[in-house]
């Protein structure tokens, strides 16, 4: 049997060479990879491969685009957790701004320094921790804005921050940075804050311009501006150390010991003195901060906390907004309102109730004493109550110990002056009761309550009424009220002095009424900076310089609050909670992102976005940090009126249409003239500049050939009709009332 030859397989070396595949992800793939690195990313469900991130018709949520490229990530407040995949960000070649603020990211700072072309980074409000490497920012020379506030970063402030030539905004507050503050010679630096860290030592002279508030909450910081000498701190680390200070091994008494037996005693005295002074400063700062926190916790003033108390036969209900330090202005709680009588001390020394305004009837102090009072709020100016007189008139009684800067005759003259003010946007006081160390100021009760409550604390009918026309009306009314006060109280440095949304009451038709004005020179000088909101203006906060321009700064904050729907952090002295609406809006305008900061509840009226953007710029111009660049009230109102001037351009009216085209063509031109971007007409305020009613419909009549022959503009109170005249080739307004067009 033949045996088949064996097949011998020779071992062969097979070498497989894998060549690198150069592959660049598309922007969509990069963004999806980024999304997949997050947890709880339901808000980004629209990020799917196969669609175009910068599509004009359906742009992805949370991105900004320019010329079809992704230029910004706006992922703030989405509850995101996980890793930020920097490799994916590197694929976004046009990326300039990243916003991951107010999420739950943790760990060390991501390697954003690999993206050398970034201009803005917003990481505030997360849980990032650990040291930032000293050289981290060396390559980020394009960076202009860096927000790392409200995290848990530790260690030294990276010295490479001082090497960024274009840095404009640096926010490191509410972290755990330690050591000294580096010398910052950035020529463009406009905003700087290191509040509430563990920093120590002298503040560099280059940063003095930012004021004490930028450094508060660091007990170890010293300097003349802080009322704490740096000499004692320097004694611990002297350039020419004493033998005791130079000692490096406490266990070896011979190391560095000079042989002077008294040197230990001297060192003990120095150390004891330093500890004693530090403790004194610590408790003073702590006490001061506590006072400010107690003053600015929301719910402390009439219509800030409990508002719109309804008196019924059952136990009254108070709508309260508690604990603003944890941003609970977004919640509404209900609790039983407690009955309270007026001050027992007042009863013991009744004196007289001085009526300065009898428009709501005449009543006396005994009437107030007999009336049961409902507590509305407690705060910086004192306690506020609601009382119903026997004649049915409801009043607010503000009991205060803070406006004690004047004697009786001067106080009477000032209250009489305030009571004589007559303007529909200013609520004048009705009466007062004078005691040396306590005052009662009585004014009319406004059931709907404050603008602050309608914006932030109420999700019922009052809030629903705040559509765009209502907010525009409120802004105009507030500005008109300020102009009136600036005219009638022209001799006052601060004609209002305390303008904020809690001091704007809303009537049933959204007509705003200003309260708590004109108290500036009545307040005790030692308390005025803490009690009056006008002192939040930069020139007042940093240099104590007050003027009517401070009122304009406050007006700007209220305008921005109305437009964004955000609770301003400026209302809180402790700097915790709320949104810095001034910086947020100024940054958005600088980066061309105005529409992103608008309250979603009004920005869905797409045809009114132009008006909202214009008003946003007015608010920004009112909050310029330099008071000389700030608008005055006359110019502010002129710009507001230009926005709400019925949407008609001054140079063009319906009459300027010069040909009778088809319906679509004429409609397009008419909408352009009327400053409309879409058929919806809610934002159109009339036809002529002196008309304030709203337009409801825009209708056209056509001939058999399809050309437009008549245009009818109908409002809530009348109609105007424009007819086409062949002789002139224009539409002309008809003088007789227009008939309905069928």
Please check whether residue 35 is in contact with residue 41, taking contact to mean a CB–CB distance below 8 angstroms.
yes
Max mean pLDDT among 122-131, 276-285, 355-364 falls in 122-131
Q: How confident is the model at residue 663 (pLDDT cuts 50, 70, 90)?
A: very low
The answer to whether the Cα torsion of 589, 590, 591, 597 is positive or negative is: negative
Let me know: does 709 contact 723? Beta carbons within 8 Å: yes
Radius of gyration in angstroms for the set of CA atoms belonging to the chain, rounded to a whole number: 33
Block residue for tokens 């946003």: 616
Q: CB-based contacts of 562: which residues, under 8 Å, 6+ apart? A: 451, 455, 471, 474, 475, 501
Q: Report the 3 state secondary structure along 145-192.
A: EEECCCCEEEECCCHHHHHCCCCCEEECCCCEEEECCCCCCCCCCCEE
Residue tagged 């000088």 (tokens): 525
CA separation for the pair 656, 140 (Å, rounded): 54
Q: How confident is the model at residue 466 (pLDDT cuts 50, 70, 90)?
A: confident
Q: b/e for 422-461, b at 16 or more Cβ within 10 A?
A: ebebbbbbbbbbbbeebbbbbbbbbebbbbbbbbbbbeee
DSSP category for residue 267: H
- 186-197 burial string, b = 16+ CB within 10 Å, else e? beebbbbbbbbb
Sign of CA dihedral 248, 250, 251, 253: positive
Burial of 623 (0-12, 13-18, 19+ CB in 10 A): buried
The two three-digit tokens of residue 339, written as one number:
């009955």
Identify the helix (H) or strand (E) that includes residue 63: strand 63-66
- Does residue 651 have a pLDDT over 70? no
Judged against a pLDDT cut of 70, whether residue 249 lies above it is answered with no
pLDDT of 262 over the 70 cut: no
For the ranges 178-187, 498-507, 671-680, which has the lowest average pLDDT?
A: 671-680
Residue bearing the bigger pLDDT, 294 or 590? 590
**pLDDT number for residue 715:** 43
The better pLDDT of the pair 689, 208 is held by 208
Using CA atoms, how far apart are residues 365 and 439, in angstroms rounded to an integer? 12
pLDDT digits (tens, 9 = 90+) for 42-69: 889 889 988 889 987 788 988 988 878 8
Residue 501, pLDDT score: 93
358 band by pLDDT with thresholds 50, 70 and 90: confident
pLDDT of residue 402: 79
pLDDT at 346: 36
* pLDDT given at position 521: 80
Structure token pair of residue 741: 């067009």
* C-alpha–C-alpha distance, residues 262 and 563, integer Å: 69
The CATH number given to 351-445 is 3.30.200.20
pLDDT, average across residues 543-555: 93
In terms of pLDDT, which residue wins out, 712 or 73? 73
Q: What residues contact 385, with CB distance under 8 A and at least 6 apart? A: 340, 342, 373, 374, 375, 376, 396, 397, 399
Over range 537-561, report the average pLDDT.
93
pLDDT at 154: 96
Which range (331-345, 370-384, 687-701) has the least confidence? 331-345
Span 442-446, average pLDDT: 91
User: What is the band of 486 on the pLDDT scale with cuts at 50, 70, 90?
Assistant: very high
Q: What is the mean pLDDT of residues 361-375?
A: 79
**449-645: CATH homologous superfamily?**
Transferase(Phosphotransferase) domain 1 (1.10.510.10)
Q: Is the confidence at residue 204, as pLDDT, over 60?
A: yes
Assign domain 27-226 one CATH number from 3.40.630.30, 3.30.2090.10, 3.30.565.10, 3.80.10.10. Answer: 3.80.10.10
C-alpha angle 666-690-425 in degrees, rounded to nearest 5:
130
pLDDT number for residue 374: 81
Give the integer Cα–Cα distance in Å for 233 and 270. Answer: 10
Largest CA distance in the chain: 140
**Which region holds residue 271: left if phi is over 0, alpha if psi is between -120 and 50, else beta?**
alpha
Asked if pLDDT for residue 308 goes beyond 80, the answer is: no
What does the alpha-carbon distance between residue 363 and residue 381 come to, in Å, rounded to a whole number? Answer: 24
Say which DSSP state 392 is in.
S
Confidence band, pLDDT 50/70/90 cuts, at residue 575? low
In this structure, what DSSP letter does residue 457 have? Answer: I
The string of DSSP codes covering 574-615 is: T--SSB-HHHHHHHHHHTT-GGGGS-HHHHT-GGGHHHHHHH
Across the range 385-390, mean pLDDT stands at 84
Asked whether the predicted pLDDT for residue 595 surpasses 80, the reply is yes
- How far apart CA 499 and CA 573 sit, in angstroms, is 16
Q: How far apart are CA 329 and CA 728, in angstroms?
A: 60
pLDDT in tens, 150-197: 999 999 999 999 888 889 889 999 999 999 999 888 888 888 999 999
- Ranked by mean pLDDT, the top range of 523-527, 583-587, 693-697 is 583-587
pLDDT band at 463 (very low <50, low <70, confident <90, very high): low
CB neighbours of 332 closer than 8 A, spacing ≥ 6? 319, 320, 321, 457, 458, 459
**Between residues 103 and 405, the one the model is more confident about:** 103
Mean pLDDT of 556-560: 97
Distance CA 53, CA 35 (A): 13
Is the CB of residue 397 less than 8 Å from the CB of residue 373?
Answer: yes
Region for residue 321 given its phi and psi (left: phi exceeds 0; alpha: psi -120 to 50; beta: otherwise): beta
Query: Minimal CA–CA distance to 99: which of 591, 565, 576?
Result: 591
Instruction: Check pLDDT > 60 for residue 431.
Output: yes
DSSP 108: S
Q: Over 70: is that where the pLDDT of 5 sits?
A: no
Distance from C-alpha of 432 to C-alpha of 422, rounded to nearest angstrom = 18
542 burial type by CB count under 10 A (0-12 exposed, 13-18 middle, 19+ buried): middle
Pairing mode of beta strands 394-400, 333-336: unpaired
The pLDDT value given to residue 714: 55
Average pLDDT of the segment spanning 72-100: 91
Per DSSP, the residues of 524-589 read -TTTHHHH-GGGGSHHHHHH----HHHHHHHHHHHHHHHHH-PPBGGG-TT--SSB-HHHHHHHHH
Query: Residue 18: what pLDDT?
Result: 34
Choose among 674, 666, 630, 628: nearest CA to 648.
Answer: 674
pLDDT recorded at residue 551: 95
Share of the chain above pLDDT 90, in %: 30
CA distance 594 to 224: 41
Q: Taking the CA atoms of 483, 484, 485 and 488 in sequence, report the sign of the dihedral they define.
A: positive
What percentage of the chain reaches a pLDDT higher than 70?
Answer: 64
Average pLDDT over residues 449-475: 82
Domain boundaries, the chain: 27-226, 351-445, 449-645, 691-741
Cα 344 to Cα 277, 319, 333, 393, 564: the distances in Å are 43, 27, 30, 23, 44
pTM of the model: 0.48
Indicate the pairing of strand 176-179 with strand 152-155.
parallel
Average pLDDT taken over every residue of the chain? 72
Residues 6+ apart with CB under 8 A from 373: 339, 340, 341, 342, 385, 386, 387, 397
Whether 472 has a pLDDT exceeding 90, the answer reads: yes
Angle among Cα 286, 291, 293 to the nearest 5 degrees reads 90
- Residues 183 and 727: their CA atoms lie apart, in Å, by 76
- Name which of 579, 589, 625 is nearest 171 in CA terms: 579
Q: Under a CB-based contact definition with an 8 Å cutoff, are residues 461 and 411 in contact?
A: no
Q: Which helix (H) or strand (E) holds 731?
A: strand 730-733
Closest CA to 424 of 381, 476, 460: 476
Minimal CA–CA distance to 452: which of 434, 439, 466?
A: 466
pLDDT at 706: 54
pLDDT at 685: 36
Q: What is the model's pLDDT at position 191?
A: 87
Q: Please say whether the beta carbons of 144 and 168 come within 8 A.
A: yes
Residue 440, pLDDT > 80, answer: yes
Query: What's the pLDDT tens digit per position in 267-293?
Result: 444 444 444 444 444 444 444 343 333
Q: How far apart are CA 33 and CA 673, in angstroms?
A: 46
| Contact assessment for residue 519 and residue 301, using Cβ atoms and an 8 Å cutoff | no
């Amino acid at each position: 049997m033949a045996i088949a030859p064996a097949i011998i397989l020779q071992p062969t070396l097979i070498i497989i060479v894998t060549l690198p595949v150069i592959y660049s992800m598309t922007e969509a793939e990069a963004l999806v990879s980024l999304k997949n690195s997050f947890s709880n990313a339901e808000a980004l469900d629209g990020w799917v491969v196969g669609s175009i991130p910068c599509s004009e018709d359906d742009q992805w949520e949370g991105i900004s685009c320019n010329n079809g490229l992704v230029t910004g990530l706006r992922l703030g407040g989405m509850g995101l957790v996980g890793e930020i995949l920097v490799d994916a960000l590197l694929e976004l070649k046009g990326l300039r701004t990243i916003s991951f603020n107010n999420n739950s990211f943790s760990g060390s700072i991501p390697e954003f320094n690999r993206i050398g072309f970034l201009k803005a980074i917003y990481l505030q409000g997360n849980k990032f921790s650990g040291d930032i490497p000293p050289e981290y920012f060396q390559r980020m020379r394009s960076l202009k804005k860096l927000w790392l506030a409200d995290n848990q970063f530790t260690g030294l402030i990276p010295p490479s921050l001082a090497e960024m030539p274009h840095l404009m905004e640096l926010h490191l507050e509410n972290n755990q940075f330690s050591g000294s503050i580096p010398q910052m010679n950035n020529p463009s630096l406009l905003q700087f804050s290191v509040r509430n860290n563990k920093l120590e030592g002298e503040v560099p002279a280059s940063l003095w311009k930012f004021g004490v508030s930028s450094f508060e909450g660091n007990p170890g910081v010293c300097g003349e501006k802080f009322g704490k000498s740096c000499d004692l701190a320097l004694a611990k680390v002297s350039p020419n150390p004493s033998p005791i200070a130079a000692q490096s091994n406490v266990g070896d008494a011979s190391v560095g010991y000079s042989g002077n037996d008294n040197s230990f005693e001297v060192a003990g005295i120095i150390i004891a003195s330093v500890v004693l002074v530090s403790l004194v400063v610590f408790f003073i700062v702590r006490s001061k901060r506590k006072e400010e926190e107690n003053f600015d916790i929301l719910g402390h003033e009439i219509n800030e906390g409990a508002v719109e108390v309804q008196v019924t036969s059952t136990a009254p209900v108070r709508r309260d907004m508690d604990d603003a330090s944890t941003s609970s202005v977004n919640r509404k709680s209900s609790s039983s309102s407690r009955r309270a009588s007026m001050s027992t001390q007042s009863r013991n020394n009744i004196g007289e109730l001085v009526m300065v305004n009898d428009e709501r009837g005449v009543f006396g102090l005994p009437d107030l004493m007999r009336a049961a009072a409902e507590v509305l709020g407690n705060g910086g100016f004192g306690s506020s109550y609601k009382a119903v007189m026997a004649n049915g008139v409801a009043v607010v009684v503000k009991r205060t110990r803070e406006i004690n800067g004047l004697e009786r005759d001067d106080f009477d003259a000032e209250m009489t002056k305030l009571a004589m003010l007559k303007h529909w946007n200013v609520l004048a006081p009705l009466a007062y009761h004078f005691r040396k160390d306590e005052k009662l100021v009585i004014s009319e009760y406004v059931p709907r309550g404050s603008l602050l409550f309608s914006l932030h604390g109420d999700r019922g009918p009052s809030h629903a009424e705040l559509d765009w026309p209502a907010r525009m009306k409120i802004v105009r009314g507030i500005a008109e009220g300020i102009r009136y006060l600036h005219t009638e109280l022209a001799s006052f440095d601060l004609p209002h002095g305390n303008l904020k949304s809690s001091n704007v009451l809303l009537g049933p038709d959204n007509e705003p009424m200003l309260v708590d004005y004109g108290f500036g020179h009545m307040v005790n000088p030692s308390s005025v900076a803490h009690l009056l909101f006008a002192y939040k203006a930069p020139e007042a906060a940093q240099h104590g310089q007050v003027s009517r321009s401070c009122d304009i700064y406050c007006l700007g904050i209220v305008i921005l609050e109305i437009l964004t729907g955000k609770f301003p952090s400026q209302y809180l002295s402790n700097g915790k909670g709320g949104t810095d609406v001034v910086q947020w809006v100024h940054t958005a305008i600088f980066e061309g992102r105005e529409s992103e900061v608008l309250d979603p509840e009004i920005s869905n009226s797409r045809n009114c976005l132009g008006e909202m953007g214009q008003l946003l710029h007015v608010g920004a111009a009112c909050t310029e940090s330099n008071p000389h660049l700030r608008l005055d009230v006359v110019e502010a109102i002129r710009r507001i009126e230009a926005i709400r001037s019925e949407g008609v351009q001054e140079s063009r009216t319906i009459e300027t249409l010069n040909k009778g085209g088809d319906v679509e063509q004429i409609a397009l031109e008419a909408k352009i003239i009327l400053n409309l971007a879409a058929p919806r007409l809610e934002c159109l305020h009339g036809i002529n500049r002196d008309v304030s009613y709203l337009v409801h419909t825009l209708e056209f009549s056509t001939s058999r050939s399809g050309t437009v022959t008549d245009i009818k503009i109908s409002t809530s109170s009348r109609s105007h009709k424009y007819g086409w005249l062949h002789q002139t080739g224009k539409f002309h307004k008809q003088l007789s009332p227009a008939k309905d067009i069928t």
